[in-house]
Amino acid sequence: MKPQLASLALALLVPATALLAQEGAPAKKILFFSKSSGYEHSVIKDPSKPFTPGGGSEVPGLAFQVVKAIGAKDNIEFVFSKDGSLFSPAYLAQFDAFFFVTTGDLTEVGTDGNPPMSAAGKAALLQAVADGKGFIGAHCASDTFHSPGGKEMTAQRWLDDGDNADPYIKMLGGEFIIHGSQQVSHLIAADPKFPGISGVPADNSFKEEWYSTKDFAKNLHVLLVQDTSGMTGAPYMRPNYPSTWAHMYGKGRVFYTTLGHRDDVWNSALFQSVIRGGISWALGRVDADVTPNLDQAAPGANTLPVRPEPTPEPAKK
């Protein structure tokens, strides 16, 4: 799939630049937060720490490199942090938006050992977005602050939490259930007029760790739809569902995409077009129609996959 993504990069470079480059745009400041209380993806792993390759992403800290390059193009200062203890109204006030590539319950130390948020810090984040700050999430941002029913990989994880969804999930607009094996799939552009989405060709097809998601906000504006036809594995035995979306959370603009596990995805012009568009919109640099369209773009999205029955252990002799 790398050659195909490379060809996409050549095809998409011009339209993405034409849409998103904003000469003379005022500088903006974004907190890129990448604490991993759960699984630590190598694309956001501290390059200075010991690293074991594997899982489809081989370059530690690649996301930081990609985001820095976008910041240089678009006059955005990115502040990189894994320290949740800094979250407070005063600390968050300095930023125009927050970009999360995180996992797990960020109020716990967890996998990477970095300082966690306090409950008050989490509340401060949600209030900052509701008051008008932008929020951008990629890939595992939906595998963060799971709802009560989804904290463990039980049957409840495969069901909607509805009104019981975690407040962070309500802000984000959806929640990760599970993923299957990495495989080639296709995305359907539900709104090619949204910034950056015109850079997704109709015939896109590439390999990724595709997330199966749930708990979609009622006011979701779907941008890209996961085409489940031809996919293999229980997580994808469902009708098409949102892969990338935008919606309002109070006065704040929230953008999320499931994309972002593999190195070749982060390096592709397709992905960079999508996140540059999302960042630009979340910052309020460009406007877009985000009228709720879940029922039109992915009418079967709330039909969730069925959890397969656990394989019984063989009887001991």
- Report, as an integer, the average pLDDT of 135-139: 98
pLDDT at 307 over 50: yes
Confidence of residue 16 (pLDDT cuts 50, 70, 90): very low
Say which residue, 312 or 186, is predicted with more confidence.
Answer: 186
Give per-residue pLDDT as tens, 179-196: 999 999 999 999 999 999
Q: For residues 288-309, b (16+ Cβ closer than 10 Å) or e, as one string?
A: bebeebbeebbeebeebbebee
pLDDT at residue 249 above 50?
yes
Q: Could you write out the DSSP letters of every residue in the chain?
A: -HHHHHHHHHHHHHHHHHHH--TTPPPEEEEEE--BSS---GGGS-TTS----BTTB-STTHHHHHHHHHHHHHTEEEEEE--GGG-SHHHHTT-SEEEE--BB-TTS-TTT-PPPPPHHHHHHHHHHHHTT-EEEEEGGGGGBS--GGGSSSSGGGGS--GGGS-HHHHHHT-EEEEE-S-EEEEEEES-TTSTTGGGS-TT--EEE-PEEEE---TT-EEEEEEE-TT--SGGG-SS-EEEEEEEEETTEEEEEES---SHHHHHSHHHHHHHHHHHHHHTTSS-------HHHH-TTTTSPPPPPPPPPPPPP-
Higher per-residue pLDDT: 19 or 307: 307
Rg (CA), the chain: 19
- What average pLDDT does the segment 92-120 reach? 98
Class of the domain covering 2-21+28-297: alpha beta
* pLDDT value of position 215: 97
- The string of pLDDT tens digits covering residues 31-66 is 999 999 999 999 999 988 887 777 666 788 999 999
The pLDDT assigned to 55 comes to 61
pTM summary value? 0.91
Angstrom distance (rounded) from CA 167 to CA 150: 13
What local confidence, expressed as pLDDT, does residue 51 receive?
78
* pLDDT confidence band for 22 (50 / 70 / 90): low
Question: What does the pLDDT read at residue 1?
Answer: 37
Domain boundaries, the chain: 2-21+28-297
Tell me what the pLDDT averaged over the chain comes to.
91
